[in-house]
C-alpha cells in the first residue's frame, strides 16, 4: 500500500527577481532534513512484466522512505529507436510518476524520446506533482529548497546532458545561474547536481582504481573525455554533490576538488546489467541547516530488500 508523503510542502513558481536568473521551483519544508529518492534508467520500453516489477519496487521505496522529492535521472521511458510507441511509453511513465503521491522531477537521458521539446515540457509540467520549471528552456532547471524560515537552504540543479555532453551548450546556463545567485545572495548556498551522463572524471577514478563502491564497466562519459564539465561544476566551490545514471553496472562514488561525484543506483529491470548489479534506488538526505548530507543505495537482491551503509558527507570530506 502506498502511504502519502508526510511532507508539508509548497511547490510554487516564482517570477525571477532579476531578468537574468531564471525562475526556480521552490520546495519548502519545516523538517530538519530534505529526503530525495533518486531513480534512474527505468528503460520502460521493455516488456510490461518487468516495468511493473520496477514500478512496484519504486512504490515500495517511496512508501518506506517518504521522500520529499523523487528525482529521475534519465533513460526512463526511452523510445528513441521506436518513436511510433515512444509517446505512449512516455505517457505511461509520467502517469506512474504523477501517481507516486509526492513531488518529482527529471533529468533527460540519451534514450528519452520527447518529440517537440516545448510541448513535451508542457506535458511534463501538467502532470500531477511535477516540479518542472522552464529553466534554460532545454531541460535544465533549478529547484530551490527552503527551510521553515523561508531562507534558501539548497539549490538542486537538474542538467540535461543530451545525447552527449557539449561544452558550453549544456553548461553555460548552469554557470551563469550559479554566478548570479552567489552575487545576489551575498552568501554561499550549497548546491546539488543531477544529470544522466557521467562526467569525464568518473572514468579517471575507475582507471586509477580509486572508486568506493561497485565499478563494473566503462562509464561511457560521452562528450566529456577532457573533463571540462567537472571543471565547471566544481569551479565556484558551491556544488556539494553530483549524481548521475547511464552506466547500469556501476554504483560508486568519489570526491574530486571537494565535490562528491556518485552514481544513482540503476532502477529498471528492463535495463541491462541486472546480473552484475541488483536493481534499486538511492536514498539521499540533505541537512537543511548545515549543508551536510548522506546517501545510500537500496536494492532488491534474491527477493530481499538490502541497503548499503549510509555514506555520511561529514566523514567523506574529512577522510
Ligand atoms: Zn540506461
Ligand atoms: Zn543512458
How far apart are alpha carbons 22 and 133 in whole angstroms? 9
Q: Residue 21: which CATH number?
A: 3.60.21.10
Ligand with the closest atom to the CA of 220: 2
Tens digit of each residue's pLDDT (9 = 90 or more) over 46-80: 999 999 999 999 999 999 999 999 999 999 999 99
How many A from CA of 32 to the centre of ligand 2?
34
Residue 170 cell numbers, joined: 549544456
Q: How far apart are CA 197 and CA 221, in angstroms?
A: 6
Residue labelled with grid coordinates 538511492 = 282
- Using 50, 70 and 90 to split pLDDT, how confident is the model at 185? very high
Gap from CA of 245 to ligand 1 centroid (Å):
7
Residue 3 lies in a domain: no
Predicted local confidence at residue 247, as pLDDT: 97
C-alpha 205 to ligand 1 mean position (Å): 21
Ligand nearest to the CA of 198: 2
Residue numbers of the domain that contains 192: 12-316
Instruction: Give the Å distance between the CA of 228 and the centre of ligand 2.
Output: 19
Query: 148-185: b or e for each residue (b if 16 or more CB lie within 10 Å)?
Result: eeeebbbbbbbbbbbeebeeeebbebbeebbeebbeee
For residues 9 and 256, which has the higher predicted lDDT (pLDDT)? 256
Ligand positioned closest to the Cα atom of 39: 1
Q: Say if 4 falls within a structural domain.
A: no
The average confidence (pLDDT) of the chain is 92
pLDDT at residue 145 greater than cutoff 50: yes
All three cell numbers of 209:
582504481
The ligand with the least distance to the CA atom of 109 is: 2
- Phi and psi at residue 253, in whole multiples of 5°? -145, 165
pLDDT at residue 166 above 80?
Answer: yes
| CA 178 / ligand 2 centre spacing (Å) | 26
Dihedral (C-alpha) 34, 199, 119, 144: value to the nearest 10 degrees?
30
Question: What's the CA-to-centroid distance between 265 and ligand 1, angstroms?
Answer: 11
Residue 177 is predicted with a pLDDT of: 95
Phi and psi, residue 178, nearest 5°: -60, -45
CA of 69 to the centre of ligand 2 (A): 22
Domain membership of residue 151 (yes or no) is yes
Tell me what pLDDT residue 302 has.
Answer: 86
Judge whether 66 lies within some domain.
Answer: yes
Enumerate the β-bridge partners of residue 104: 70, 130
Ligand 2: distance of its center to the CA of 246 in Å? 4
As a whole number, mean pLDDT of residues 147-176 equals 96
Query: Does residue 7 lie within any of the structural domains?
Result: no
Q: What is the distance between the alpha carbons of residues 60 and 281, in angstroms, rounded to a whole number?
A: 11
* Inside any domain, residue 40: yes
Are 210 and 258 within 8 A, CB to CB? no
User: Does residue 161 register a pLDDT over 70?
Assistant: yes
- CA 2–ligand 1 middle distance (angstroms): 27
* CB burial string 235-265: b at 16+ within 10 A, e below: eeebbbbbbbbbbbbbbbbbbbeebbbbbbb
**pLDDT score, position 211:** 84
Confidence of residue 229 (pLDDT cuts 50, 70, 90): very high
Measure 27 CA to ligand 2 centroid, in angstroms: 28
- Give DSSP secondary structure letters for 193-259: EE-SSPPTHHHHHHHTT--EEEE-S----TT-TT-HHHHHHHTTS-EEEEEE---TTEEEEEEETTE
Tell me the mean pLDDT in the region 154-175.
96
5 inside domain: no
Q: Which residues neighbour ligand 1 (ion) by CB within 5 Å?
A: 41, 75
Query: Which tens digits make up the pLDDT trace of 238-272?
Result: 999 999 999 999 999 999 999 999 999 999 999 99
Distance 247 CA to ligand 1 centre (A): 6
Instruction: Report CA(296)–ligand 1 centroid distance (Å).
Output: 20
Cα 165 to middle of ligand 1, angstroms: 15
User: Each residue of 190-224: pLDDT tens digit?
Assistant: 999 999 999 999 999 988 888 899 999 999 889 99
| Cα–ligand 1 centroid distance for 232 (angstroms) | 24
- Report pLDDT digits (tens) over 88-106: 999 999 999 999 999 999 9
Cα 267 from Cα 274, distance rounded (Å): 9
> What does the pLDDT read at residue 319?
75
CA–centroid distance, residue 43 to ligand 1 (Å): 6
pLDDT > 90 in the chain, percent: 88
Counting ligands in written order, the one closest to the CA of 110 is 2
Q: Is residue 255 domain-resident?
A: yes
Cell readout for 20 is: 537574468
Question: How many A from CA of 238 to the centre of ligand 2?
Answer: 26
Tell me the ligand closest to 76's alpha carbon. 1
108 CA to middle of ligand 2, Å? 9
Q: Count up the domains in the chain and report the number.
A: 1
Q: Return d(Cα 288, Cα 49) in angstroms, integer.
A: 39
Amino acid at each position: 500500500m502506498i502511504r502519502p508523503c508526510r511532507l508539508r510542502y509548497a511547490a510554487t513558481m516564482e517570477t525571477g527577481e532579476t531578468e537574468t536568473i531564471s525562475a526556480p521551483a521552490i520546495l519548502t519544508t519545516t523538517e530538519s532534513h530534505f529526503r530525495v529518492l533518486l531513480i534512474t534508467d527505468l528503460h520502460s520500453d521493455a516488456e510490461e512484466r518487468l516495468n511493473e516489477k520496477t514500478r512496484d519496487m519504486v512504490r515500495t521505496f517511496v512508501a518506506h522512505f517518504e521522500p520529499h522529492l523523487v528525482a529521475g535521472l534519465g533513460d526512463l521511458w526511452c523510445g528513441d529507436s521506436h518513436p511510433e510507441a515512444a509517446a505512449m511509453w512516455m505517457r505511461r511513465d509520467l502517469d506512474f510518476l504523477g501517481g507516486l503521491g509526492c513531488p518529482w522531477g527529471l533529468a533527460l537521458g540519451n534514450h528519452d524520446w520527447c518529440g517537440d521539446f516545448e510541448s513535451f515540457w508542457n506535458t511534463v509540467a501538467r502532470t500531477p506533482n511535477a516540479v518542472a520549471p522552464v529553466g534554460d528552456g532545454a531541460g535544465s532547471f533549478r529547484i530551490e529548497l527552503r527551510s521553515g524560515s523561508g531562507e534558501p537552504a539548497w539549490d538542486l540543479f537538474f542538467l540535461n546532458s543530451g545525447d552527449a555532453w557539449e561544452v558550453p551548450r549544456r553548461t553555460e546556463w548552469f554557470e551563469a545561474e550559479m554566478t548570479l545567485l552567489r552575487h545576489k545572495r551575498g552568501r554561499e548556498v550549497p548546491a546539488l547536481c543531477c544529470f544522466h551522463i557521467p562526467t569525464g572524471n568518473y572514468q579517471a577514478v575507475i582507471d586509477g582504481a580509486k572508486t568506493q563502491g561497485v565499478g563494473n564497466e566503462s562509464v561511457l562519459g560521452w562528450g566529456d573525455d577532457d573533463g571540462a564539465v567537472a571543471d565547471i561544476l566544481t569551479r565556484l566551490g558551491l556544488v556539494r554533490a553530483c549524481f548521475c545514471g547511464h552506466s547500469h553496472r556501476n554504483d560508486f562514488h568519489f570526491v574530486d576538488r571537494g565535490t562528491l561525484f556518485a552514481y544513482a543506483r540503476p532502477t529498471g529491470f528492463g535495463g541491462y546489467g541486472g546480473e552484475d548489479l541488483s536493481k534499486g534506488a538511492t536514498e539521499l538526505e540533505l541537512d537543511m541547516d548545515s549543508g551536510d548530507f548522506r546517501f545510500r543505495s537500496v536494492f532488491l537482491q534474491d527477493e530481499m530488500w538490502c541497503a548499503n551503509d549510509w555514506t555520511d558527507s561529514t566523514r567523506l570530506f574529512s577522510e
